[in-house]
Structure 1
Amino acid sequence: MDKKEFTVSEVIDSIGISSHTWIVFAILAFAMIFDGYDFMIVNSTNLYVAHTFWPNDPNPGALMGSLTTWGLLGMVLGGAVGGILSDKLGRKKTLIMAVMFYGLFTLPQAFANDLVFFAAFRLIAGFGVGSCIPIVTTVFSESMPSKQRGVFVTFGMAFMVVGWVLAGLIANPICNATTPLLGDFTNQVTYTLLEGGTATMYANWRLCYLIGALPLAYGVLLIFVMHETPHWYANSGRKKEACERLTQIEQATRHTTHEYDPNLLIVPPKPAKTGPAVLFSSKFIVATCAIWAAYFVGQFCVYGMNAWIPTWFVGLGYSQADSVALQTWNNVAAIASNIAVGFVSDKVGRKRNLAFSWLFCIVAIILCSIFVAPNNMAICIVLMLLFGFALNYAITAVQPLMPESYPTAIRNTGTSWCQAFARFGGSASSIVLGGIAGMAFFQTATGATNWSTVVLVLIVPFALGFICTVLFVKETAGKTMDQLAAEEERRGASESDGNTRFIIMLVIVAILAVLCIVCPLVVPNWSKQSYALPLMAIGLLLPFAYFFIFGGKQVAINKKAEAAMDDDKVKA
């Protein structure tokens, strides 16, 4: 047994890519596939669900957009609570609970006949989905060698998009089947067409939600095949178990009998506080502003567009089947971007990669707006591939920064609260874009929505994402998790002064929810009111005002402190 002190990161880096690496990768990949399917199945079936719930309304607008919103709101709650549970109870226990939870509560959605029943269980299932994603990100960051961490974090997220694609591939033939696939359970529905007249379909979409219950079985499998991370053991004071796990990993790879001494294991100091308020302390506020701003933009644009892409192309004259297929092509491109972004991020750095991605998105959305056209499936497929690649490249470029921004004790709390906040952007986006689509400015002479104009609105959040990246993102590529924690310690900033900033952010989130989610659903003819667009704009821009004020102030303080430290070194 060696008598040299060591850290968990040093051991994992010394082992490198191993059989352990690939086992963890496979376990988390399947969790993300199921997670992605559960989320995207509502976007792949929303046209058919809307015909079932509102057969006499050919354009449900914000109501149809809310089909996506309820799951995202559940993901907000699940991410916030799941992250704290993961830091307290462990990664393994929380992931198993999350996977089984969303599998169990997706099942009742198959039996829904109205929005209230569907929304209730969508909200509950979203709690599990929201808990799962940040845990997977954290486990990847704690299990992979430092040099390849970005690749594995982003590659792992690609499997969530695989779930998105599977949702489209499964939903399209099922929903468009010309016979009832489950007898009376998938009843015939007669619905009103936008251009007048009626049509019929079978409610075969219910089968898609029955399939969504499969994660129940996978959760049972995780009990036997998944292990807790050594980082979590070490940070929880369980050094013996951390060393035993490191020994198991090394033995499986090198087939040695080397054992690690718990007394020699170095664990970075824990923050004095571990609740969500510490994320807004002077020590972490800049990192919080960086990842919260960028991920909010990504979630708003990805989830908003995925909810409305089928409607966009139906409005151009494409069939429902072709419209869902175009959405699926958009998600196929996302898989490629998720794989590519990690390699580029590790090569050129997190900040440069993310800044470039927002500019790429602006170019892609302008091209889509100009060249998308009816009766030209080939060009629309190319445009959806471009848009899916660009937008998902941007949102995935944020992923490595999340776990790298916080120490182990609050890593999953930080990651999950970032994702929970960003999902308010996703929750609001499907409703906000639906509301904007109903405004006179975005209508054609015939009263139909000009979605090619609506999508140009996304240039504003893309530009804000670029600005926040330049201002707040700190480079973390290639550094071990222990090195990043040590850098924060050397800054000497306070970690106990975030309560006021945390409360202010909660108030802003509440205003955002009221103006961009509650009002469009509750106020009659909300999109027709002259004050609707300004109020929604205020709700969406308030968080960025917060980031610029509090993040910008701390950036200035940090630069001043660093300059003083440099002067002291010169004098010494």
Structure 2
Amino acid sequence: MNGKEFTVSEVVDHLGVNGHTWLMFFLMIFAMIFDGYDFMVVNTTNLFVAHTFWPDNPNPGALMGSLTTWGLLGMVLGGAVGGILSDKIGRKKMLTIAVIFYGLFTLPQAFANDLVFFAAFRLIAGFGVGSCIPIVTTVFSETIPSKQRGVFVTIGMAGMVAGWVLAGVIGNPICNTATPIFGGFTNEVTYLNADGSSATMYANWRLCYLIGALPIIYGIVLHFFMHETPHWFANAGRMEEACKALNHLQRSAGQEETHFDPKLLVVPPKPAKTSPNILFSKKFIVPTAAIWTAYFVGQFCVYGMNAWLPTWFKGIGYTPTEAVALQTWNNVAAIASNCCVGFVADRIGRKRNLAFSWIFCIVAIVICSVFVVPNNFGLSIALMLLFGFALNYAITAVQPLMPESYPTAIRNTGVSWCQAFARFGGSASSIVLGGIAGMAMFQTAEGATNWSSVVLVLIVPFVLGFICCLLFVKETGGKSMDELAGDGRTDASDTGMTNFIIMLVVIAFLFITCIVCPLAITDWSKLPIALPLMAVGVLLPFVYFFIFATPHRKAYFAE
């Protein structure tokens, strides 16, 4: 560039939105659609899968909640490993592998006849699903110009929610078809209702998982059409390839190619170490606290309620078809919120937008709890539109902050470990909420679950999210990725290892009390000690960050 030093961000911002931007956008959108379908297909089909696996148990409770949990646990592991690999081998290679992987291992779930077989392949497929989402977020942040980054990142997340909607639109009619679609493969099932009567259905839900294998084909598409990001090339020391990638951007923008001298390409200093423990060093623990707590809250509430929405509406008198339809309307609103949140974040800032989202969620929860009633399908649709818009606005408001919190060398490690941790919230929430729903204080006089009361429990995590936003979130909007990276160097002696080990202990406690115990101990939620232990498990991560991140706030905000 005329003999002057330059950065990747300067070139990307100068070229603006161009053909390459849109190509990457649509490739990432479809990756997220498939990813979203794979996750939500379980919540769409869980009533029918439960009837198949436990035909003599009309209220499998935590067992049915675990159908969602196994995939989320796989996503935890996949996100943690996939993020590190993406920083090592590249965004393109890792995303292609992840998409093919989860498509391949979703296929056997169609043939499951018991929880063990289903859970095993759900867990394995989750490895790929968990790797996909953080890579997409990182690719957006490294591809999109600074001024439009928030909009593209959040609209990209709408692709995932579109996959959720497709799971409902496709799964609802398939599961409720009164005849077998594939003969003996979609076998007849006789099951017990809560009132002791018996009913018959066909296991047409299996077809939904056959459809879930389509990402195998899409992974091949990614291999041939996706480009590696110049940010990753530059950070990996492959300067000539980074410059060639920048030339490709110029061609896509319709501009004459410039000679980019690899020797003049400036890359922000990298951390001394790039392992996950560095996220807990003095330099990074405050942004880690900000995005980990916020995304944990979002995952706990969004994934937990998505798992139980059909059960809620079926419990107050709606048919299974209407119940799944209401869940789908909830997710339709989520698409709208994902498209809006980025525009607002780019205009008023990340921190204000996130703080507003927590307050908005609290109001929406109270309204839905008070006004959801049986025999008024139109009102319930309106309430689910509000509910889905508010909750998904909040979780998506965190997305731009994730890649903006770390330098390129640990960006996808940071994003993926944040999402992996948050999925413990998502994994635990379906079980915790199912356990809470079975407690006497949340039962009606007739012995049914009062889900309107259970929903109010979500106010607690949203209040915590608001407090953490005020304490730990630093404004990052409008700055280039290289500006945000700044001096990424860390003190070689400050590895964050001690804090990291303590955090792993906290996560282990959460995992044992909120996931293992409810699944391993019969009637766990009815034990007097259950609720206090689960509450401690969910709240302990917040206590951890209040203790270990607060002392470093002043230095972090002064940078």
Q: Same fold (TM over 0.5)?
A: yes
**What TM-score comes out, normalization by structure 1 length?**
0.96
What is the rounded CA distance, in whole Å, between the counterparts of 1:466 and 1:229 in structure 2? 34
* Secondary structure at the counterpart of residue 58 of structure 1: coil
For structure 2, which runs of at least 5 residues remain unmatched after alignment?
Answer: none
- Aligned residue number for residue 445 of structure 1: 445
Output aligned runs, 1:421-570, within 5 Å.
421-486=421-486, 496-556=494-554, 558=556, 562=558
> Percent identical across equivalent pairs?
73
**Contact 1:110–1:206 (8 Å) recurs in 2:** yes
**Contact 2:272–2:492 (8 Å) recurs in 1:** no
Per-residue CA deviations over 1:462-513 (Å, capped at 9, x if unaligned) read 0000000000000000000111111666xx7778330000000000000000
- Aligned residue number for residue 288 of structure 2: 288
Output aligned runs, 1:403-422, within 5 Å.
403-422=403-422
Output aligned runs, 1:312-351, within 5 Å.
312-351=312-351
Give 1:337 deviation, angstroms: 0.3
What is the rounded CA distance, in whole Å, between the counterparts of 1:32 and 1:72 in structure 2? 16
Matched residue type, 1:305: M
* Secondary structure at the counterpart of residue 458 of structure 2: helix
Per-residue CA deviations over 1:181-220 (Å, capped at 9, x if unaligned) read 0000001100000122011000000000000000000001
What is the rounded CA distance, in whole Å, between the counterparts of 1:555 and 1:403 in structure 2? 19
Matched residue type, 2:538: L
Output aligned runs, 1:252-267, within 5 Å.
252-267=252-267
Matched, 1:270 2:270: yes
Per-residue CA deviations over 1:264-299 (Å, capped at 9, x if unaligned) read 100111110000000000000000000000000000
Output aligned runs, 1:129-278, within 5 Å.
129-278=129-278
What is the rounded CA distance, in whole Å, between the counterparts of 1:277 and 1:525 in structure 2? 37
What is the rounded CA distance, in whole Å, between the counterparts of 1:374 and 1:368 in structure 2? 13
What is the rounded CA distance, in whole Å, between the counterparts of 1:527 and 1:50 in structure 2? 20
What is the rounded CA distance, in whole Å, between the counterparts of 2:493 and 2:259 in structure 1? 36
CA RMSD of aligned residues (A): 1.1
- Aligned residue number for residue 358 of structure 1: 358
Per-residue CA deviations over 1:296-345 (Å, capped at 9, x if unaligned) read 00000000000000000000000000000000000000000000000000
* Secondary structure at the counterpart of residue 199 of structure 1: strand
Matched residue type, 2:47: L
Q: Which runs of 4+ in 1 moved over 4 A?
A: 492-495, 556-559
**Contact 1:361–1:394 (8 Å) recurs in 2:** yes
- Aligned residue number for residue 64 of structure 1: 64
Matched residue type, 2:522: P
**Contact 1:283–1:495 (8 Å) recurs in 2:** no
What is the rounded CA distance, in whole Å, between the counterparts of 1:534 and 1:211 in structure 2? 41
- Aligned residue number for residue 570 of structure 1: none
**Contact 1:138–1:415 (8 Å) recurs in 2:** yes
What is the rounded CA distance, in whole Å, between the counterparts of 2:156 and 2:522 in structure 1? 43
Give the number of equivalent residue pairs: 559
What is the rounded CA distance, in whole Å, between the counterparts of 1:245 and 1:257 in structure 2? 11
What is the rounded CA distance, in whole Å, between the counterparts of 1:449 and 1:337 in structure 2? 30
Matched residue type, 2:158: A
What is the rounded CA distance, in whole Å, between the counterparts of 1:407 and 1:176 in structure 2? 49
Matched residue type, 1:399: Q
Give 1:253 deviation, angstroms: 1.4
Give 1:537 deviation, angstroms: 0.2
Matched residue type, 1:411: R
**Contact 2:293–2:465 (8 Å) recurs in 1:** yes
What is the rounded CA distance, in whole Å, between the counterparts of 2:520 and 2:328 in structure 1? 32
- Aligned residue number for residue 297 of structure 1: 297
**Contact 1:357–1:393 (8 Å) recurs in 2:** yes
**Contact 1:278–1:495 (8 Å) recurs in 2:** no
**Contact 1:438–1:527 (8 Å) recurs in 2:** yes
What is the rounded CA distance, in whole Å, between the counterparts of 2:404 and 2:99 in structure 1? 24
Per-residue CA deviations over 1:363-395 (Å, capped at 9, x if unaligned) read 000000000000000110000000000000000
- Aligned residue number for residue 33 of structure 1: 33
* Secondary structure at the counterpart of residue 269 of structure 2: coil
Distance 1:265-1:441 versus aligned 2 partners, 3 A rule: same
* Secondary structure at the counterpart of residue 254 of structure 1: coil
Matched residue type, 2:104: L
- Aligned residue number for residue 122 of structure 1: 122
Give 1:551 deviation, angstroms: 1.1
Per-residue CA deviations over 1:114-173 (Å, capped at 9, x if unaligned) read 000000000000000000000000000000000000000001000000000000000000
Give 1:435 deviation, angstroms: 0.3
